[in-house]
Amino acid sequence: MPVKEIHDHGRVLLSETEHHGHRIDDPGDLRARIVQHALFAGHLVVTDSQVLNNAALRPLLGERHESDDPSYLADLAALVGADLLFVARRDSAGSLREVRDGHASRDVQGVPSEEYADTIDEISEGHHVLYSGSKVSDRFKERTVEHLKALIEPPEDDFARTLRAAVGWIDEQDPFYYNSLRQWSAHYASHNEAASDLALESVEKTTNWAYRTAVPSALDVPIAWGAVHTPTTVAVRGDVHRDDELMPSWELNPRILRRLPAEIVCESTQLASRGVVVEQFARVHAHQQVDAKSLEDNAREYLHHLQAAALAAFRGSYDEALDAVRDERGARLHVSMSTEVGAVASSFITLGSAGLDVKALMLNLLAVPASVLVDSREAGRQRSKDRMREWLEKECDLSDEAKLLRVVSREEPFD
């Protein structure tokens, strides 16, 4: 089976398709996030474990389902065929079926049918990348042990002893498997009265983070992840806001992303405006200077094209999505370049211009009325300030469920 070479520096690895930890269980919600990433990245990468064991991802790629949910499309296999979505497969296996069988032999949770594994092998033939299984395994183990050791501090209580027991067990594992660690934790808790539940929670959280970041570290690609708490996208720096520090907002609705045909996403790769947007985003990921004016102009053209394509696709076939495209209360897409990446609601993200030393680029989809979507250059300073405060107030009032955040950075934070 041939292996595709990806040279485009606009590739990112999806973290939201991870099936451990805070996973997204609804296929429609997961599809909205995948399509959102696909619209603004050169290539997306998912791991072999994710494509096999994520029960919410499988129906989007063609797994047979008893009932079809009309609120989302199950057509993301087209992204694979268009080289927009690649599967990262460990080099120790000759196929995804082989990976699947190995998982089944170790009683890994969520293992799919043999038929599905064979189907994904067919779909991804020529559209996958290889990673070093041994390198990822070593990195996974090193990061887990390193973070757990950092948590061990005096006094020598049940918490510390439980962490030491976990570190000692992990040190003996070669290779180190996530599923085996969970089995050890359950056994340790049931056979040790002094086992610390808090320490075992820390072991799980640390292992989850190390697992999620091991493959992107080996492939040297940034990670596209979703924060549980959406950082505030408005920076209030005193009372002064210069127009060239602001970028306009566009409407993009998660309901639309659930139904936007993959064919439209694939066709958009031929747009010159998309190419510029992807290039500028990739420069952000690589800590390079960004041409904010070029990003703004081409993003406007690109998103106008997507809006027209969505209207044409939904007209006469899906009235709810069509209404969402036309709805003036559709979500706003706000582009902001961040000097700090954090997953806490109190974070402030600086809206930057060209030359800013950036670490990530965030795309927030927020339920904000279109009345606040006025181009800042058409308003005076006072009106601009008032509008910024209005955005801040509206965003702070939103629940986490009403927000859809895309963060791309070299490292998913451990928090």
Q: Which amino acid is at 295?
A: L
Q: Are residues 69 and 202 in the same domain?
A: no
* Nearest by Cα to 330 from 275, 368, 298, 373: 368
Q: Are residues 392 and 369 in the same domain?
A: yes
pLDDT tens, residue by residue, 245-297: 344 545 556 777 888 899 999 999 999 999 998 888 777 666 677 777 787 78
The reported pLDDT for the residue numbered 364 is 52
Q: Is 248 helix (H, G, I), strand (E, B) or coil?
A: coil
CB under 8 Å to 82, separation ≥6 — which residues? Answer: 266, 269
The reported pLDDT for the residue numbered 297 is 82
297 within 8 A of 220, measured Cβ to Cβ: no
Q: Are residues 164 and 281 in the same domain?
A: no
Q: Are residues 103 and 180 in the same domain?
A: no
Query: Looking at 96, 131, 166, which one is the last position of a domain?
Result: 131
The reported pLDDT for the residue numbered 182 is 93
Q: Are residues 43 and 170 in the same domain?
A: no
List 129's β-bridge partners, or say none.
Answer: 88
Residue 195, in any domain of the structure: yes
Average pLDDT of the chain to the nearest whole number: 75
Q: Give the range of the structural domain holding residue 42, as residue numbers without chain letter.
A: 11-131
Q: Are residues 232 and 201 in the same domain?
A: no
Residue 1, in any domain of the structure: no
Q: Are residues 371 and 276 in the same domain?
A: yes
Residue 221, in any domain of the structure: no
How many structural domains compose the chain?
A: 3
Higher pLDDT, 321 or 334: 321
pLDDT tens, residue by residue, 152-187: 988 899 999 999 999 999 999 999 999 899 999 999
Nearest 5°: the CA angle 300, 301, 306 is 95
- CA 229 to chain CA centroid, Å, is 14
Residue 414, in any domain of the structure: no
Query: Looking at 71, 104, 131, which one is the last position of a domain?
Result: 131
How far, in Å, CA of 9 to CA of 156, rounded? 47
Q: Is 223 helix (H, G, I), strand (E, B) or coil?
A: strand
Report the chain's C-alpha Rg in angstroms: 22
What is the DSSP secondary-structure string of 267-323?
HGGG-HHHHHHHHHHHHHHTT----HHHHHHHHHHHHHHHHHHHHHHHTTT-HHHHH
* Nearest by Cα to 223 from 116, 53, 88: 88
What is the DSSP secondary-structure string of 326-395?
H-TTPPEEEEEEES----STT-B-----TT---SEEEEEEE---GGG---GGGS-HHHHHHHHHHHHHHH
Q: Are residues 330 and 252 in the same domain?
A: yes
Could you tell me the pLDDT band of residue 213, with boundaries at 50, 70 and 90?
confident
| Percent of the chain's residues with pLDDT above 70 | 64
222 within 8 A of 13, measured Cβ to Cβ: yes
Q: Are residues 65 and 90 in the same domain?
A: yes
Q: Are residues 276 and 374 in the same domain?
A: yes
pLDDT tens, residue by residue, 32-79: 888 888 888 889 999 999 999 999 999 999 887 665 677 788 999 999
The reported pLDDT for the residue numbered 226 is 58
Query: Looking at 98, 131, 164, which one is the last position of a domain?
Result: 131
How far, in Å, CA of 304 to CA of 103, rounded? 45
Q: Are residues 294 and 329 in the same domain?
A: yes
User: CB pairs under 8 A, 24+ apart, for 180-183?
Assistant: 180/106, 181/144, 181/207
Phi-psi region of 104 (alpha: psi -120 to 50; beta: other; left: phi over 0): alpha
Could you tell me the pLDDT band of residue 225, with boundaries at 50, 70 and 90?
low
Residue 353, in any domain of the structure: yes
Higher pLDDT, 349 or 406: 406
Q: Are residues 28 and 160 in the same domain?
A: no
